[in-house]
Structure 1
C-alpha cells in the first residue's frame, strides 16, 4: 500500500494506535532511562537498566515500572499523530513539483514535524518525568514508595513556588499527574508545563531530521519495484533501525531535557538555569560520557515504537477502522 494514498484521518489513527501499543510494550525501559539519566556521580541507586528494573519491581511492585504511563498513554496519540501526519503532509507539499524529494527536502519535512509535535510532547514529558523519577528519589532517601495498582501515581511532592530551588524533598506523599499539572498551572501558569521547551526542541527537531529521511531511504531499498511497497518485515526493520539511530544521535539533548524538567532533586543534586548552564555543569562535574546516559535504553524504547508505527501504516489499521465505521466519510 502506498503511503501517498493514505488519508489524513487514517494517518492519525495509525499513529495513535502505534503510540499506544508501543508505549505499553516499552514503558518500563523508558522509566529506567529517566532514572539512569538523573543519577549523579557518587549517588548511583541503579547500576544498569536491568538493575533498575529489578530494584523497581522489588521496592515498588510490578506496576512501579509503569509510573507515568497514564500520562503517556493519554497524550501519545496526539503526539504521534501530529508527528507522522505533519511529516507526510510536508513531504507531499514539498514534492508537488513532481521531481520527488531530495535529502534536504526530506530533512526539512522532518524538521517541521519535530517542531509541531513539541506542543504536546513538552507537557507530556514534564509530567511523566516527575512520576518516573519519584522512585529513584525515594530509594535515594531510603524511604518506602507506596504504589497503587489501580492508579499510576508517584510518591513525590507537589511542586511549590520554590520548586527547583535546590531543596531536598523531605516529606513525600502520593500525587497524580493531574495534581502536578494543577499546581504548576496555579503557581507558574501555562509556562510551568512547558519548562524545558527549548531542550525538547533541541531533541525532537534533530530526531525527526535524522529519522524520517533515514527511514524513507532504508524502506526504499526494500521495494521490489518502484510501484510496489516494501515487504512487511522490511518496513518494521527500517523503522527500528532509523528510530534507534536517531535516538542515540540526540541522546545528549535528551539528558539535558530530563535534567531540566526534573522539578524535585535528591540530596546534593544541582539545579540548572537553562540549557547552557545545564550542559556546562554536566561537562564540568560528570564529563562528556554523562551525555550518553540512558542511550541504550532510549534506543530500545524508540526502535520498536517507530517499527510498530510503520507496521500500522503497512497493515492499514486506520483505513480498516474508517471503512468499517460511521466515520468512513472522513476518509474521502
Structure 2
C-alpha cells in the first residue's frame, strides 16, 4: 500500500510561482491576440488588419502589453493554483489514493482559491492588452463613401479608408489603471467580473487537474520510476487544451465584462446574464467560441511548461527537501 508523504506548502508555492513565470513568458503574445479577438464584435478581418498595422509600424511593444502585470501577479496566482491543488489532493487522499470525485473536489477548491489573485490580474491585464484595439478600429474605418443616386436608390461607387496614423493614445501603466479604478470604483473595482472568473476557473480546474493526473499516470514506466519530463509536458498540454476549450464561453463573458473601454457601437453589460443574453441576440452562439483556438494555444503550452517546471522541485531544492509530486503516489 502506498505510503502517504508529507508535502511542504512553502516549497509548492515557490514551485508554482516559478512555473507560472516561465510559462507566461513563453506564451504571453498569443494571450494578447486571444484577448483582442474576444473583444472585437466584427469578424477576424479587423483583427488581422490591426496586427499587420502594428507590425508595419514596428510596434513590437504592443505584443507584450500587460506582460508586466501578468508576470508580477502570475507568481502568486500560479503558486496558489498549483500548490492548493496539491494541498487539497493530499488532504483528501487516503493511503495516497484518490477517487475521481475527490480529484475534482480538490481542483474545485484550487480554482476557488486562485481567483483572489486571478480577478485583479485579469482585470488589469485586459485593459492594457485591449488598449490598441479601439485605435485600430478608427484607423481602418471607412472615412469617405461616394454614392451615385438614381431615382429612389443609391449605389456605393467607392469607399476610401483612413490610413493616416491614428491619434496618439496615452499609454497607461498598471499602477495608473489601478489608481483610477480605486478612485472611481473603490477596491471592488479590481474585482469586476469576479463571478465570471469563478464561472471560468472552477470548471477549468475541475476538468484540468483530474485529467492531467490520469494522463500523467499513464506515462509511469513502473511504480519505482518517475514519469519522464516530456510526458509531464504532453499531459499538461493535452489536459490544458481540453479544459481551455471547454470553458471558452465563460472566458468570453469574463473578458467582455472586464473590458472598461468600448469602441463605437459596442455593448455595455450589466452582469453575466445580461452579457450572455446580448451576445446571443446580436452575435449568435458562435461568438462564445471567439478566441477558443488562441486560448487553447495559450493554455496548452502554458500548463505543459508549468507542470514540468513545477515537477523540477525548485522550492524543495531551495528549502532542503526531497522533491516529491502528489501525482507520483
Match of 1:289 in 2: 286
Q: For 1:220, which of 217, 220, 235 is the aligned residue?
A: 217
Distance in 1 of aligned mates of 2:16 and 2:4: 13
Distance in 2 of aligned mates of 1:131 and 1:321: 35
Can you list the C-alpha shifts for 1:72-127, whole angstroms capped at 9, x where unaligned?
Answer: 000000000000111111001111x3271111100000000000000000000001
Contact 1:57 1:65 (C-alpha < 8 Å) held by counterparts: no
Q: Within 5 Å, which residues of 2 pair with 1:136-155?
A: 136-142=133-139
Q: Which is greater in Rg? A: 2
Q: For 1:92, which of 67, 90, 93 is the aligned residue?
A: 90
SS in 2 for 1:134: coil
Is 2:8 the counterpart of 1:11?
no
Q: Within 5 Å, which residues of 2 pair with 1:35-114?
A: 35-41=36-42, 45-47=46-48, 53-59=51-57, 61-95=59-93, 97-98=94-95, 100-114=97-111
Can you list the C-alpha shifts for 1:227-253, whole angstroms capped at 9, x where unaligned?
Answer: 432111111100111111100100000
How far did residue 43 of structure 1 move? 9.0
Q: For 1:239, which of 236, 240, 251 is the aligned residue?
A: 236
Distance in 1 of aligned mates of 2:250 and 2:54: 26
Match of 2:265 in 1: 268
How far did residue 296 of structure 1 move? 0.8
What is the TM-score of this pair, normalised by structure 2?
0.84
Structure 2, unaligned runs of 5 or more: 141-166, 325-329
How far did residue 59 of structure 1 move? 3.9
Distance in 2 of aligned mates of 1:58 and 1:21: 29
SS in 1 for 2:171: strand
How far did residue 7 of structure 1 move? 2.2
- 1:4–1:29 Cα change, 3 Å: farther
What is the TM-score of this pair, normalised by structure 1?
0.83
SS in 2 for 1:41: coil
Match of 1:34 in 2: 35
Structure 1, unaligned runs of 5 or more: 144-169
Is 2:303 the counterpart of 1:306?
yes
Q: Alignment length, in residue pairs?
A: 294
In angstroms, what is the RMSD of aligned CA positions?
A: 2.2
Distance in 2 of aligned mates of 1:99 and 1:83: 20
Contact 1:32 1:52 (C-alpha < 8 Å) held by counterparts: no
How far did residue 15 of structure 1 move? 1.1
How far did residue 55 of structure 1 move? 3.6
- Greater mean deviation of Cα atoms: 15-24 or 34-43: 34-43
How far did residue 204 of structure 1 move? 0.3
- Greater mean deviation of Cα atoms: 74-83 or 174-183: 174-183
Q: For 2:175, which of 175, 178, 183 is the aligned residue?
A: 178
How far did residue 130 of structure 1 move? 0.5
SS in 2 for 1:270: coil
Match of 1:251 in 2: 248
SS in 1 for 2:270: coil
- 1:215–1:55 Cα change, 3 Å: farther
Contact 1:41 1:286 (C-alpha < 8 Å) held by counterparts: no
